[in-house]
Structure 1
Amino acid sequence: MKSFWLSIGLFIALIMQGKAQVLIGQITDEEGRAIEGATIYIRETMQGTVADENGNFRIHLAAGDYSLEISALGYEKQLIEWEITEKEASLSVRLKPIRYMLKEVRVIGKGEDPAYYIMRNAIARAPYHRRKVKEYFSEVYSRGNFRIDNLPRILKWGKTGREVFDTIKGKTLLMESVMDIKFQSPNRYKRNILAFNTTIPEEIGPEKALNVVTSSIYDPDILGILSPLSPGAFSSYKFRLEDSYREGERMINKIEVQSKIKNNRLWNGWIYIADEEWCVVGFDFSYNVKGFSAQMQVGFNEIAAAIFLPTSYNIAIGMDMMGLEGEAKYFSSVKYKELQIDTIQLTLATEDTSIRKRAVSKKEQKIRHKIQELSEKEDLTNRQAYELARLSQRLQEWPLSDSVSPYQIPLRRLKDSVTVDTMVTKRDSLYWQKIRTVPLLEEEIKSYEGRDSLRKFMEKVFGPPDTVPNKADMIFSKIMLGDTFALDNRKRVGLEVGGLWEIFPQYNVVDGLWIGQNVQLHIYMNKGKKISFGPSLYYGTARKTLLWKMNANWLYAPMSRGQWELDFGEMSEDYGHAGEGALFENSIS
């Protein structure tokens, strides 16, 4: 049962001084409709929060004067000066739709959409924006809730299965957490979980606290999906300049992002980029595969001069596949406590290297000169944009090997360490009431009220939850689901075996039941490259024949998903491409 709840928890994660006063408010449009996902940013405290589905928010602040930035994608930003004096102050804000001015945008005389000019500059400077923040220290409040409307029939078998389903059907379950995050450029995150609370019947540990805030739009991928600002994005995405508008002295471009091919690792939606600075000021992306959908809105604010960082996250997830139906919502509010800018990054395009206090080689001088030369061009080509991104990254991570491919920036793995405060699960209701930036919804309040009775029911049915996975469970999991076994001490060669789960992978009316196995040998190389090859061999009980395939795959460009693949053999395939989910459900049925 533990694996079941852990799977559900991962599902919602795919796709969380002075005398304190309370500022509560609601954000609506001109017609009074709530604006879900609107961002409220307090300049003095560098704190952001997000409005819930009813447009509501709440922030605890010390008495004093504050400047509030109220914004939402598609609406004009409002700046409100507000004095906090009473114990509880209320604020109601109505946002106006943005008045766009696309006709004033310069059109490039190439017969292409102006979005490509903007995106070339944004892609070229993505490494610069990723690295110009040297360090920051932030406090993050996250909350995710989900509801299960249906389960696969196999999980509803028998009296116990029906009782469990009837107990959880339509009920809201949630997790919420508070964590401190210490970021150090380029890719190191240290998370300290300060508080964690959940109404899931079997405990998911605090280390599972939702951590989407450790992703960046300037990284090659966002939550495992290719970023539109990654090197090689033009081969996977097409762009269209939908609108432009002024926000103070800046021109903001709203660009539609569309995937060129049907791929489950590509986004669709909109990205907002500031002219001339070529930095992201917000995005609204969606992700859809058969039976699964996710939408992620991220609000940015100017934390320091020309430094835009995420201050709010709003994510909605829906699932309807293999009999599992449900939906989830997640949001996160970020408060920046410390911020350190890398002054070296702010002088990338100059020849002045005195601040490095070291001898500069002729090769580095040549790279700096090339960066300056490309930066001064008004209209970059796709090739020049990729080249500028590569050179900027190389200079920032100097020295790098000369073996770096012209269009491949080395893939840096995220270094994420987690510690848990001793008081993490002992915070009282007063603490949570103070720390929450969005009030609990009615169904979330009911979820907390019914938590104890739901857990008692689950313990009665399945017994007390396991606190530590035992060795027998781990061995059983490997036998059932398979595993990859290292064949050398350096773990550069691995053998992947499918496990019992893959012995009977599917059933169809043509072949009958498949009985067999697949094996893959993986050779792991530098910079994320990998070579894999191995056979799949099955026996079809209806056709009474062997089904076999030999596969060879070379992942030579991890950043742009560049790979070479060769398959040969004799296998059956669904002509309608129904997908693995449908084949599995058909086999169970």
Structure 2
Amino acid sequence: MRLYILAILLCCQFNVIAQKVTGTIFTAQGDLLPYSSITIKGTTKGTSANEKAKYAMTVAPGTYTFVCQHLGYAAVEKKITVTGDVELSFVLSDVKLNLETVVIRNDREDPAYEIIRNAIKKRNYFSKQVNQFTCNIYGKDLIKLNALPKRILGRKVPDEDRKDMGLDSSGKGIIYLAENISKVSIQQPDKLKLEVISSRVSGSDGFGFSFPSFISLYNNNVKVFTERLNPRGFVSPIADGAIGFYKFKFLGTFFENGKSISSIRVTPRRLYEPLFSGIINIIDDEWSIHSFDLMLTKTAQLEIMDTLQITQLHVAIDNDIRRVKNQLLHFNVRQLGIDVTGNFLTVYSDYNINPKFPKKYFDNVVIKYDTGVNKKSKAYWDTVRAVPLEQEEMLDYQKKDSILKVTKDSSMSKRYIDSVNKSQRKIKPLDIFTAGIGRYRYNKKGSINWRIEPLVQNAEYNPAEGVVVQLKGAISKNLYNSRSSVALFPVIRYGFSNTHLNAYASLVYNIRTQDSARKLKRYAIAVSGGKRVSEFNKQGVIPPLNNSISTLFYGKNYMKTYENTFGAVTFSKRYESGVRLAVSGLYENRIPLNNTTNFTFYKKDSIKITPNYPVEQLSSQFQQHQAAIIAVSFSFKPGQRYIQFPNYKASIGSKYPTFTLNYSKGINKVFGSDVDFDKWSFNIQDDKNLKLAGLLKYKIGVGGFLNNKQVFFQDYQHFNGNRTAGASAYVNSYQLASYYANSTNANVYAIGHLEHHFNGLFTNKIPFFRKLNWNLVAGSNAFYVNKNNHYVEVFGGIENILKVFRVDVVVGYDQKNNTSSGIRIGAGGLLGASFNRGANNNIDIGF
């Protein structure tokens, strides 16, 4: 009974100190005015109306002046005394712009230019006006499908998928709905920490995006969402050189709280430049931003999205200090019959411009999630939500959350597990050749997956083995409790001409843990062995498909291989600091592999077939020998930043380059080993986004042999060449160089790779190219061993062709004064760049 009475008293107390103010915002014509801003005068507390123009605020009893604002409308103030729940609606009239309040400097220039010049002069001041501050953030992200065709690229969209997404029969519905409550702390010049207090995703127990897009026109270059939208960023209308990019038109002034505010239309001077269009409002004499409504489209080099509208309203938080109060990002995507719209609404409140941060508060954790971030109740959200839910959103939460609960409650039941295991599609006989086959099996202790890759994908042809068939598979098991996994990768290879059967396998154990200080550590142990076919250059720079085509059609068998019976052990570890360490041991019994066929599609090309060893340097096949090698690789990327989730950390990169040191030693007379060498290399590699100037990628390095007493050709330093029309890995190879002619065991060598993606810097001025959004790329690759062994090439090309392809013209020059040229076709652009990601591996153990 005592607890019961206490509960009643607490409820009564809550009713006394927390009252709800609700209302709707209308125009003078009676239309709804969505996403208006409502604040309490004299504070930074406030909210935003939703898409239906409704708002709600929770306040303590008292007398308040509520201020309602919306871009293009005159602000309205209402003073009320709150003693209980109250409804307070607003009617906003169109702002009356006065064209006579600004003196025209001369008859030829629009007065907007003088206002913008003053704003540009004060841009840096307002950017650094507040040394540090904190504020609370409420965010609501909504993505809706307005249309989904029955087929996409010829493939039918199953009804089950539509149902899982919560769509109706016409393909409409909410596909993503999330809210979050966060606190952001910022300290000049570049310190930021976002603490996510609570997060809710409809139909999911995940964390959502939970990272508001901090958009500031006080920066010369404005980043929106992600660099994938436009790696060059967008030029602010008040950037230092804005007048060279934009046309400005003075629309008039209006008054708010006794301040004169100029409204200016912003228009790009040229299409296909990363520029905004729309309205920006500047406070006269202060020259700070009052608000803006700006748009980005495809003609602003916007990628992925078709349109993106950005609306911000700034309010005074202390004298002449103004900060963002509300921000709305509205986007639309129309591709392949799919129509998607989205609204990302952010409300900023409770600014504190004099916070006291503890020592070492700003560390390498940029975003930190509370341990109970996704465990808050519906009652909690109804209390803290800054923007009321619309009926459609409430129904989406109810429907998807109930489905999630049923799924979670039954996820460990035998019936549910059996249902999931039986839901896999049937295996068809031809799948083993074209699509591959696989199965997963769930149980309470984890999951087991197995897969066999398609035979056609791994088939190849070479003169040593003839037609080659490979059976590659994988069997993996995830161990939920220990956050670890174990996987087996078997390979069986058969050559029909030499009738050799080779088989080997790798067993890999991965584990991810955190120590007592919650520092992330990742370990991996791999054990492999068997008999295999390897290239002389272990990096495998010649794709088997390319070699098969060049051999069959032109008689050019570039790939050179040998057989080896081997055993290897590798231990690798990743530290939270950005350090990666790998230690390996390898033993190989290396066996020559000679040609057994010279078949080509055209008989005249069969005489071009060369022996199966690097003929550029070897006059005959090597002798069988053994090699025992240990290798250590140390890689470090300083300044790593992280997202701290409740149970783990995830890296979000660093602004510094990656430094990599590799060392390998050939050990003589161990298990009959014939090798004796010490080999090293040191590389620096990075991608630097130069904003409007484009993206610069580079890799430079030095290396050599400290000891080369007994070095077989497999252990030489090989420079990754390429002799086919298909481009080799960018920033890690030489597009026209020979595969083995320059391989060396010299004491010292140096390499350099430089590539610049202009990202529309020049092509946006060429009518045909700018409409297609094709971009220029250029660079150079070089290595130097000595005066008798060096090479340099330069290249230039076009990328983002169909968002995937890239074509380069390359000219090379070697130590013999030979000049070569060629065309290379590869992947590059918005989607193609993803194919190249990971091609340059920082950890190179040489095995």
Q: What's the offset of the Cα at 1:537?
A: 9.5
Question: Is 1:420 aligned to 2:366, yes or no?
Answer: no
Mapped to 1, the partners of 2:215 and 2:830 lie a distance apart of 32
SS for the counterpart of 1:340 is: coil
Which of 64, 67, 81 aligns to 1:66? It is: 64
Letter in 1 for 2:207: G
Distance 1:99 1:522, change over 3 A: same
**Are 2:688 and 2:697, in contact at CA under 8 Å, matched by a contact in 1?**
no
- 1:272-319 residue CA offsets vs partner (Å, 9 max, x unmatched): 101111000101111112752111111111111111111111221111
- Aligned counterpart, 2:280: 271
Q: Does 1:117 align with 2:117?
A: no
Matched residues in 2 for 1:99 and 1:314: separation? Answer: 24
Deviations 1:51-85 (A, max 9, x none): 11221100000001112111111111112212111
Alignment of 1:184-203 (within 5 A): 184-201=187-204, 203=205
After superposing the two structures, state which structure 1 stretch, 109-118 or 255-264, moved more. Answer: 255-264
Change over 3 Å in CA distance of 1:326–1:106 after alignment to 2: same
Alignment of 1:68-467 (within 5 A): 68-86=66-84, 88-109=85-106, 111-148=108-145, 149-150=147-148, 153=151, 157=155, 161-168=158-165, 169=167, 170-172=172-174, 173-201=176-204, 203-205=205-207, 208-212=209-213, 214-220=214-220, 221-223=222-224, 224-263=233-272, 265-289=274-298, 292-340=306-354, 417-452=366-401, 454-455=403-404, 460=420
1:76 is paired with a residue of what secondary structure? Answer: strand
C-alpha deviation, 1:171, in angstroms: 2.4
CA distance in structure 1 between the partners assigned to 2:254 and 2:723 by the alignment: 59
The secondary structure found in structure 1 opposite 2:386 is: coil
The normalised TM-score by structure 2 is: 0.47
Retained in 1: the 8 A contact 2:278–2:293?
yes
Structure 2 residue identity aligned to 1:58: A
Going from structure 1 to structure 2, the CA distance change for 1:525 and 1:422 (only over 3 Å counts) comes to closer
**Shift of residue 210 of structure 1?**
3.6
Distance 1:536 1:232 in 2: 44
Alignment match of 2:30 (pick from 25, 29, 32)? 32
Distance 2:250 2:120 in 1: 16
Shift of residue 46 of structure 1? 1.5
Tell me whether 457-466 or 90-99 shows the greater mean CA deviation: 457-466
Q: Which digits, 9 at most, give the CA deviation of each residue in 1:175-232, with x for residues without a partner?
A: 000011222233322211111100155x5425x30412x3322123142433222222
Conservation of the 8 A alpha-carbon contact between 1:318 and 1:327: yes
Which residue in the other structure is 1:408 paired with? none
Shift of 1:150: 2.2
**Deviations along 1:69-109, whole A, 9 cap, x unmatched?**
111111111122121111x1001111111111113311122
User: 2: CA distance between counterparts of 1:103 and 1:536?
Assistant: 69
Q: 2:88 is paired with a residue of what secondary structure?
A: strand
CA distance in 2, matches of 1:198, 1:555: 38
Asked whether the 8 Å contact 2:317–2:351 carries over to 1, the reply is no
Distance in 2 between the 1:132 and 1:95 partners?
A: 32
Q: Does the CA-based 8 Å contact 1:240-1:257 persist in structure 2?
A: yes
- The separation in 1 between residues aligned to 2:37 and 2:317, in whole angstroms, is 14
Q: In structure 2, do the counterparts of structure 1 residues 555 and 579 end up closer, same or farther at CA, with 3 Å as the change threshold?
A: closer
- In 1, the alpha carbon distance for the partners of 2:135 and 2:223 equals 20
CA distance in 1, matches of 2:798, 2:185: 51
What is the distance in 2 between the residues matched to 1:229 and 1:536? 48
- Find the residue that maps to 1:129 and give its secondary structure: helix
Q: Distance in 1 between matches of 2:335 and 2:210?
A: 25
- Aligned residue runs from structure 1 range 550-569, under 5 A: 553=756, 566=778
Q: CA deviation at 1:249?
A: 2.7
CA distance in 2, matches of 1:134, 1:281: 20
Determine helix, strand or coil for the equivalent of 2:22.
Answer: strand
Shift of 1:554: 8.0
Partner of 1:356: none
* Aligned length, in residue pairs: 453
* Aligned-pair CA distance for 1:490: 6.0
Q: 1:338 to 1:531 in 2, by over 3 A?
A: closer
**Structure 2 counterpart SS, 1:423:** coil
Listed one character per residue, the Cα deviations across residues 124-175 of structure 1 (whole Å, up to 9, x for unaligned) are 111111111222221111111112332795699468x442134423222300
Partners of 1:228 and 1:537 lie apart in 2 by 48
Question: Which whole-Å CA distance do the structure 2 matches of 1:322 and 1:287 have between them?
Answer: 21
Secondary structure at 2:23 match in 1: strand
Cα distance change of structure 1 residues 106 and 416 upon mapping to structure 2, 3 Å threshold: farther
1:476-518 per-residue CA deviation (whole Å, 9 max, x = no partner) reads: xxx9xxxxx99975686679xxxxxxxxxxxxxxxxxxxxxxx
SS of the residue aligned with 1:427?
Answer: coil
Distance 2:120 2:155 in 1: 52
Contact 1:237 1:258 in 2 (8 A): yes
Question: How far 1:578 moved relative to its partner?
Answer: 7.2
How far apart in 2 are the matches of 1:166 and 1:69? 43
In the other structure, the counterpart of 1:20 is 18
Higher strand proportion (structure 1 or 2): 2
Partner Cα distance (1:56, 1:205) in 2:
27
Contact 1:251 1:275 in 2 (8 A): yes
Higher relative contact order (CA 8 A, sep 6+): 1
Cα distance in 2 between the residues matched to 1:416 and 1:243? 46
Q: Render the CA deviation track for 1:443-499: whole Å, top value 9, x for unaligned.
A: 111111111455467985698999979779x99xxx9xxxxx99975686679xxxx
Distance 1:218 1:31, change over 3 A: same
More moved, 434-443 vs 258-267:
258-267
After superposition, the C-alpha distances for 1:13-46 in whole angstroms (9 at most, x for unaligned) are xxxx971000001111111111112111112442
Structure 1 residues 490 and 113: alpha-carbon distance in aligned structure 2, compared to 1, 3 A threshold: same
Q: Match for residue 506 of structure 1?
A: none
Unpaired stretches in structure 2, ≥5 consecutive residues: 1-13, 225-232, 357-362, 412-419, 425-441, 448-477, 486-509, 512-521, 525-539, 541-578, 581-633, 639-655, 660-683, 700-720, 727-734, 737-752, 765-774, 780-793, 806-828, 832-847
Q: State which drifts further: 184-193 or 265-274.
A: 184-193
Q: Does 234-243 or 523-532 show the bigger shift?
A: 523-532
Distance 1:570 1:124 in 2: 39
Counterparts of 1:188 and 1:533, CA distance in 2: 27
Please tell me the root mean square deviation across aligned C-alpha atoms, in Å: 4.7
Q: Secondary structure at the match of 2:237?
A: coil
- Alignment check: 8 A CA contact 2:21 2:58 kept: yes
Displacement of 1:426 in angstroms is 1.7
CA contact (8 A) 1:317 1:329 kept: yes
Following the alignment from structure 2 to structure 1, what is the Cα–Cα distance between the partners of residues 72 and 219? 25
In 2, Cα distance between equivalents of 1:450 and 1:44: 41
1:279 to 1:66, Cα distance in 2 relative to 1, 3 A? same
CA–CA separation in structure 1 for the residues paired with 2:754 and 2:337: 31
Counterpart of 2:352 in 1: which secondary structure?
A: strand
Contact 2:294–2:309 (8 Å) recurs in 1: yes
Residue 210 of structure 2 aligns with an amino acid whose one-letter code is A
Alignment equivalent of 1:47, drawn from 41, 45, 48: 45
Per the normalisation by structure 1, the TM-score is: 0.65
Measured in 2, the distance between the counterparts of 1:211 and 1:573 equals 31
